[in-house]
Amino acid sequence: MAVDRKHVISVRLTEEEYEPFKKILEATEISKSEFFRLVLLNRVAELPTKPKVTADYKKCLFYFNKSSNNINQIAKQLNIAEKKGVATETTYKRLMNALISISTSLSGALK
């Protein structure tokens, strides 16, 4: 359940004051609100950071999601063929080749 935050606190900083925070924010995926909330409420010297997601990671995630959708479509085709009683050895080979193609694509994305 989302936390109901109603109170807005606004602060203005000079470039010099903001610079140390800017470096941390650019290196992480933490939003400004989340970051400054941690600073104010926890009063910690070293803040926990989430590493910034790389372009390679996003690309791999895209391929995994795409592959997941393709695998679901293959499973659906096989289930439909089974229910209709028309699943043949050719159907299985065709769908197996599609799975091998997906596996090859994923292996290539990880290299």
For 32-59, write each residue's pLDDT tens digit. 888 888 888 876 566 566 777 888 888 8
Half-sphere exposure (Cβ direction) of 66: Cα atoms closer than 13 Å: 12
Asked if residue 1 is part of any domain, the answer here is no
Q: Is the same domain home to 98 and 60?
A: yes
Asked if residue 2 is part of any domain, the answer here is no
In this predicted structure, what is the pLDDT of residue 111? 63
Asked if residue 12 is part of any domain, the answer here is yes
Full domain range(s) for residue 76: 55-110
Tokens at residue 60, please?
A: 């791999």
Domain count, the chain: 2
Q: Is the same domain home to 64 and 21?
A: no
Spatial distance between the Cα atoms of 67 and 45, rounded to a whole number of angstroms: 43
pTM (2 d.p.): 0.46
What burial letters (b/e) apply to 56-93, b meaning 16+ CB within 10 Å?
Answer: eeeeeeebeeebeeeeeebeeeeeeeeeeeebeeeeee
Q: Is the same domain home to 82 and 93?
A: yes
Q: Is the same domain home to 90 and 101?
A: yes
